[in-house]
Each structure stands twice: as C-alpha cells, then as structure tokens.
Amino acid sequence: MRRRLALMLLGLLLGGPTLAADGASSKYRPLPGGRFESVLPADGKTAPAVLKPFRLRSEPVTNAEFLAFVKSHPQWRRDRVPGVFADGRYLSQWAAPDQLGPAALPRQPVTRVSWFAAQAYCESEQARLPTWYEWEYAAAADATRADARSDPAWRERVLSWYARPSNDALPPVGGKPDIHGVRDLNGLVWEWVEDFNAMMTSADSREQDGADKLKFCGAGAISMEQKENYATLMRVAMLSSLKATDTTANLGFRCARPE
Amino acid sequence: MKRLLPLLFVLLCAGVAHAASPLPSDSLYQLTVPLTDQDGHTASFAARRGTPQIVSMFYTSCTMVCPMIIDTMKATRRAAGEPANLHLLAVSFDPERDDVDALRRYAAAHKLDLRWWTLARTGPRDTRALAALLGVQYRKLPDGDFNHSSALLLLDADGRIVARTNIIGRTDPEFVAAVRKATAK
C-alpha cells in the first residue's frame, strides 16, 4: 500500500501522469457489462439497462488516498473548498485539513465527501464516478455469482448491514473480493454514483403513475421494479435524496473507467 | 469617439477590478464549465459574472415542458418590468443533439432577443455537474428523450442563488419580486 502510494506521489512529483495512472490502474478490475435488469428500468417501465464493458476500482477510496489527493489538489482541503462544492461537515472527521488523526484511519474508507469532491478525486485518477447502473450491476455479485440477487441469503446479508448502527467506527477496506475481484460494495459504506441526480423517483409511490407533467418532461417519474429487492431500493431512495454538496459519515465512493 | 474612449477606459478598469475580486465561496461561478452559445461562441460559465441571471435547463427537441420553461423565463422578465441588466440563460441537457445549429434555430423559432438571451450547450460530464450545481435532476431515456425536473434559478451578479422556483407555465409572484429586487441595485 505504502509503496503504491509512494509510487503515485513520485509520479505526481515527476509530473508524469502516465506513471500516476499506472499506479492507479492496478486497482481497477474489468467487468463485462451487458444487459442488466435494474431496479430502475431504463424506459421507466420494463427496459433493461445496457452496460458497456468498464473497469471498477476494486476498493472504495481510503482516507490515506484522499489525503494524498488533497495534498496535491489543495483547493479540495476542507478549509479551502468553496461552499458551493461541499457542506460544512466535509472531511470534519479529520484531525486537520491535511492530517487524518485518530478518527480517520488511513485504511478506512473516506467519508464526508461531497459529489463534487468525489468526482474531482476520480478525475485525478483519470476516472469518473460509476453510473448507477454500473454500480448496481457490480454490487449484484457475490464471491461465486455475477448476479446473486435472487438468493434470499444475499438480500438478507445486505439488509443486515443496513441494520448495523452507524455510530460504530467503520471497518477498514479489504472485505472478501467478489467474482470480479471487487471488494466492499455491500457492507462497508454507501457510495456516490455519477448520476445520483438522475434517480427521479417520487417519495410517494402513488404519485408515480400519474406522471407529474409539469415536473417531469417526457415519461414522468420512473417506477421502481423488483419490489422484493428492497435492499437496492433503499439505496436508490438514499441517493435520490442527496444534494451534490451533501457529506455524511457513511457515504464514500469509488471510481470507474470505460474499458 | 473622444467621448467613447474615457468610457471604454472606465469599463476596462471596472472589468479588471471585477476579475480581481475573488468569487464568493457560495458562487456557482466556482464551477469551471465552458458554455457554447447559439452563435458558436465558447466562454466560461463564470464569464457571466457581473449581471443578474435567470438560469434554467432544457433541450430543444422537448415538446412538452421545455417550451413552457422558455416561455416562463420570458414572462418572468416581462413581469419584472424588462430590466435591462437581467440576462437569461438556458443550458441544454442534450449536448448530443443540441449542437450550435439546433440552438440557433430554437432561438429564432421562439423569437428570443439575443441581447439578453443565451441558449448554451456543454460536454456531457459538465452538463451533469451543472445540473448538480443547480439542483436539477435529469435522466436520459432509451428513445433519446429526457426526464427532468424544471426549475428557474435567480443568480445575483456574483453568481449566488438568491431565488428559485419550480412553478412553470405561469409566473411565480415571489420569484418575480426577487428579480425586481436583484435588478434594482
């Protein structure tokens, strides 16, 4: 870990984006993509999502990695970030704007980051945030199956994580890898997606049929399918309620790249 | 000409002073987005600093709500007494189809007065970031249309949001009052 970071820092110092990119690309795992039955049908009714092959960061971004980013991009320090990009709790668990401290261990996932900050970090790795479809597709996997969602035990595991009190300290990243070699999609932190502001679900499901034509151009709010996949629907509800400046104690992120 | 020169000088100095003062922390102009307008000119979003703006998002092939968004912006300006220092900006959700030509044709079809109107496009990533900044939701549908929320935002001369309305299809009296106040200064 330390060596990888050192390499990345060296790359940055030498001004060599290639070297920095190489350091980061080992952290990205290829996923094949294809047609995927999302809880959010692409047309608002039944159409599956279609995903191009992409690469996903195998782990959420850690405090140590985000600290290195903040040091090389000081405009993202908590004492310098413009209010229009992050709320007042941004990185408030760190001991100082450029120091982690006891409440933010190096291998814990970074949290209290806004969508703007997460996107900026990903750009520094020549990447972007994953789309919701990419994230949901990746998170449907377990150790042996690319899509484990029909297994009640899988759903139970995700839901039992939600039930864990969120005031406990976060475990470090490094959960068991899934079939794609990706870790911690479920069970560690909630994660930002690039199109968090594309999840136009109504708070009240009864409103979804009568398309609110003045609010939504086109087909109206999308309806959520697969009601039995409650764990995923909860995540959609959470993401759709966020503003891009919001930062919370259990919301982190990882990055993705096109193949 | 002789009279124009001192005026130009004053304007230049004002411009320099303006550029030199740092942007407020809550200014939307902190986001560096390039905007290309209906004439093909590209300038940064922050170049709009100095004049109050009504900002919204739309796309030209939308037949239902978007014409209403544009009409509501027009009507709001009229209701506020056509203030000379109020600019109107509508940015497309659909950079794929809304090229400069499409924007120019739309401006002509809707008789938009280009002294204060700007229709603009930017890249896909910047479109998403701008929507996030404005608090607008949008989603592309498989048929090429978009689902999107509709909002008008009033920015002060420094790019801070001073009012917001989701009322489309008629003028919102509170929003009009805010426009009058912001343009009176």
Supply the pLDDT for residue A224.
Answer: 56
Does the pTM surpass 0.90? The reply is: no
Q: How many CB atoms lie within 10 A of CB A19?
A: 16
Who among A115, A213, A219 is closest to B132 (CB)?
A115
pLDDT tens per residue, range B42-97:
999 999 999 999 999 999 998 777 789 999 999 999 999 999 999 999 999 999 99
| Contact assignment for A200 to B139 by CB distance below 8 Å | yes
Distance from CA of B11 to the nearest CA of A (A): 29
Going B168 to B170 to B173 to B178, the CA torsion angle's sign is positive
Distance from CA of A199 to the nearest CA of B (A): 7
Q: Inform me whether the pLDDT recorded for B12 exceeds 50.
A: no
| β partners of residue B85 | none
* Higher pLDDT pick, A24 / A212: A24
Q: Inform me whether the pLDDT recorded for B136 exceeds 60.
A: yes
Q: How many CB atoms lie within 10 A of CB A205?
A: 12
| Contact assignment for A84 to B62 by CB distance below 8 Å | no
B interface test, pick of A217, A224, A239, A246 with most B CB neighbours within 10 Å: A217
pLDDT tens per residue, range A137-171:
999 999 999 999 989 898 888 888 877 776 778 89
| Contact assignment for A85 to B30 by CB distance below 8 Å | yes
Supply the pLDDT for residue A34.
Answer: 95
Q: Inform me whether the pLDDT recorded for A16 exceeds 50.
A: no
| Segment A46-49 long-range contacts (CB within 8 Å, at least 24 positions apart) | A46/A225, A47/B142, A49/A133, A49/A137
CA A208 to chain centre: 26
Model confidence band, residue A73 (pLDDT cutoffs 50, 70, 90): very high
Supply the pLDDT for residue A21.
Answer: 43
Pairing type for strands A251-252 and A190-191 reads parallel
A interface test, pick of B58, B137, B140, B143 with most A CB neighbours within 10 Å: B137
CA distance A218 to A233: 23
Phi/psi at A195 (5° precision): -105, 45
CA distance A147 to A131: 18
CA distance A63 to A72: 14
Q: What is the ipTM of this complex?
A: 0.87
Q: What is the mean pLDDT of chain A?
A: 83
Residue of B nearest to A75 (CA): B30
Structure-token match 């708070």, residue found: A203
Coil, helix or strand for A13? helix
